[in-house]
Structure 1
Amino acid sequence: MNTLKWLESWFMQNCDGEWEHNNGIKVLTLDNPGWLIEIDLEGTDCEEKFFKDFRVENSDEDWIYCKVRDNKFLGYGSVNNLTDILEVFKKWVK
């Protein structure tokens, strides 16, 4: 299953009639340019799961930084690394 289909499935598994009204997934752009992924973990199986900050800095055009803060998975990355950010989340969840 590709990463985007997996994320759709993960989101659907957490929709219970309430969670999706106050929580969810945000995909935003950064001005450097790049991406910000914010995934609410409250009420999911990942809510209390440990995540070690993850950083890859290959170049100014190839980097990602992922962390969990305040019950949110936060992934930042350069313009060509959106899938890589989602892969970090997917591997952590599994």
Structure 2
Amino acid sequence: MSEHEHVLDWLQSWYSAQCDGDWEHGWGVRIETLDNPGWTVTIDLAETSLAHREFRRKQVARGEHDWVHAWTDERSFHLACGPGNLTEALMLFRAWASDSRG
């Protein structure tokens, strides 16, 4: 399996690691669909080791349905992407969250 195939497993582990009996009651991860079509993902960073890190806005546009946007603000990591780009978008979060140089 490629590392892309493991990104959802990694996200599940990251989420589980944040759950401390308190965090999960006010924060979390939301994955929703867009009507253009596409996906939107919001990953709460509040009360995590990533809360004060910045991800400078990244925009990749290859076509009408082949695009990814990623950014941080208000202690959240945001992703928006085309209908076939969810794995690619989640990989951006994984790479950023795993970067110890943060």
Common fold by TM > 0.5: yes
Deviating 4+ runs (over 3 angstroms): none
What TM-score, normalized by structure 1, do the two folds share? 0.97
- Deviation of residue 51 (structure 1)? 1.1
- Deviation of residue 50 (structure 1)? 1.9
RMSD: 0.8
In the alignment, what sits opposite 2:46? 42
CA–CA separation in structure 2 for the residues paired with 1:4 and 1:57? 23
In the alignment, what sits opposite 1:53? 57
CA–CA separation in structure 2 for the residues paired with 1:5 and 1:54? 24
In the alignment, what sits opposite 2:67? 63
CA–CA separation in structure 1 for the residues paired with 2:76 and 2:53? 11
> Which ranges of structure 2 fall in alignment gaps of 5 or more residues?
none
Describe how 1:4-83 pairs up with structure 2 within 5 A: 4-83=8-87
What TM-score, normalized by structure 2, do the two folds share? 0.89
Q: Percent identical across equivalent pairs?
A: 36
> Which ranges of structure 1 fall in alignment gaps of 5 or more residues?
none
